[in-house]
Homo-oligomer: A and B are copies of this chain.
């Protein structure tokens, strides 16, 4: 039963990934360089931002180093249109796919105990007090974070 519920949470994550992937195959590359609304982020930036954010789950879950550690400075710490050289949409789409495959592979091997254990940004002491700050909570949060930005990229007037 617990396994089933965890699978439902993973399925929601996978469904979100697919919708983002589909969005970035809808138009030619140039379209993703337009702002989603005047003065707001461009889809190319939001894709990089989602990669940077999701990539953080690898170290948070003790699964290894980030695949694209250089993206944090560009897509999380810097606002859009402030970094002169950002990766192309083709590069980001490849990286997105590579990251999703890596995460999905790890997720499929994680046990219930793994999902309910603390993530690396919580100390043992804090986790004893707040046992809901587990890896599953991070996945639920990142899925909602992705929906949030998906709502924005879908405003694109391509």
Contact = CB atoms under 8 A, between A and B. Distances in A.
A40 interface: yes
8 contacts: A1-B112, A5-B5, A12-B141, A37-B155, A38-B38, A39-B157, A147-B151, A152-B152
A35 to B, nearest CB: 9
Contact of A9 (B11, B134, B140, B145): B140
A1 B141 CA distance: 19
Interface of A: 1-2, 4-9, 11-12, 16, 36-40, 112, 116, 131-132, 134, 136-137, 140-141, 143-145, 147-152, 154-155, 157
Could you say how many copies of this chain the assembly holds? 2
Instruction: Kindly name the residue among A8, A9, A132 whose own CB sees the greatest number of chain B CB atoms within 10 A.
Output: A8
A133 to B, nearest CB: 10
A28 B74 CA distance: 35
Given A4-B116, A132-B4, A144 B16 contact: yes
Given A37-B38, A143-B144, A152-B152, 19 more contacts: A1-B116, A2-B2, A4-B116, A5-B5, A5-B9, A8-B134, A8-B136, A8-B137, A11-B132, A12-B141, A16-B144, A36-B37, A36-B155, A37-B40, A38-B38, A40-B155, A145-B147, A151-B151, A152-B155
Contacts of A150: 148, 151
Nearest to A39: B157
Contacts of A37: 36-38, 40, 155
Contacts of A136: 5, 8
